[in-house]
Amino acid sequence: MKPTAPSLPHALPPVQAVQLRCADGRLLHASWQEPAGPVRALAVISPAMAVASGFYRGFAEWLAGRGYAVLSYDYRGIGRSLQGSVRQERAGLREWAKLDMAAALRAIEHRRQREQRAQGQPLGVLAIGHSFGGQAIGLAPGFEQLDAVLGVAAQAADWRFWAGVQKAKAALFFHALLPGLSHLFGHAPGWVLGGRAQDLPKAAALQWARWGRRRGYLFTDPAVQADLGYHRFTGPVHLWNISDDTLFGPGPAVDHLGQQFRSAALQRHTLDPRQLGLRAIGHFGMFRRELGAQIWPLLLAPVEQATPQLRERLLA
């Protein structure tokens, strides 16, 4: 596969398309966005539920402009990792975390080791997770090797954490709409997920619905108790919610995710669109290219300051 050219006229090298091999042999589409100069740090972007990695392209370019080598990837059944029809995909969310995220973390750790040998100095690795990409990171083997975690609208999606009308909508979504449409169509249509979401494989949708109905979300699911590693992470974890994101990421749901990182240096942040003179940001607006200059420095500055491995190279 040929490398794709960058979408903006700047000095960054082309995006390099690669494949990640998971522990079960499955191949995933992924790409590296390289900095124009020396690699000063590394970042891996884990997408939201059913969102293809291309949605984060502008953000990856901005990170590369700061000196990051950025790895983006598509979960199996999503984007360019879809093989055949979405109705044929049997993977659930547990596979996305334990196999797909784990493959991305292995790839970025291997890249870190190569760069450190070449440069003769340590490099930091930052994991950036949007929504599901942040909520499931503690299920992925090897995530303890990360230096810091940045969660953007990442939450424990138990419907009880919503309020008012949105609480009723969330309960209806997980109890009826999501499972019902999944059985009807053989997948969850992207339009029911909103924003930039694509069609969601049925097994993933039904697992999401089961977790959403559970008190405590995935963290109380007996089937994943042996996988939970959130409590072992000791580095900085910065979790953001957006004040007008009442549909997918209300503050209490983000707070509950934060409680799982019991050994981490946790910081919680809230972004109000009015702080930036904006009417709305929502669940997906944090990664819109046209808002990047206003939002992305705010996201990155606190976690970079809190992480010595990033601060010493990026902010020197």
Identify the band that residue 70 occupies on the pLDDT scale cut at 50, 70 and 90: very high
Integer Cα distance of 9 and 18 in angstroms: 22
User: Which among 298, 219, 228 is positioned nearest to 59, based on CA atoms?
Assistant: 298
Across 161-173, average pLDDT: 97
Q: At what angle do helices 202-213 and 178-185 cross, to 10 degrees?
A: 160
Q: Which two tokens stand for residue 49?
A: 């539920």
Q: Domain spanning 16-160+224-314 has what CATH number?
A: 3.40.50.1820
Beta pairing, strands 68-73 & 41-46 = parallel
- Would you state the pLDDT for residue 4? 37
pLDDT > 90: percent of the chain: 93
CB neighbours (10 Å) of residue 57?
A: 22
Residue 1, pLDDT > 70, answer no
Integer Cα distance of 262 and 297 in angstroms: 27
pLDDT digits (tens, 9 = 90+) for 210-244: 999 999 999 999 999 999 999 999 999 999 999 99
Strand ranges across the sheet with 236-242: 16-21, 27-33, 68-73, 41-46, 124-130, 148-152, 236-242, 265-271
- Would you state the pLDDT for residue 316? 67
In this structure, are residues 123 and 115 in contact, taking their beta carbons and an 8 Å threshold? yes
Domain boundaries, the chain: 16-160+224-314
pLDDT > 70: percent of the chain: 96
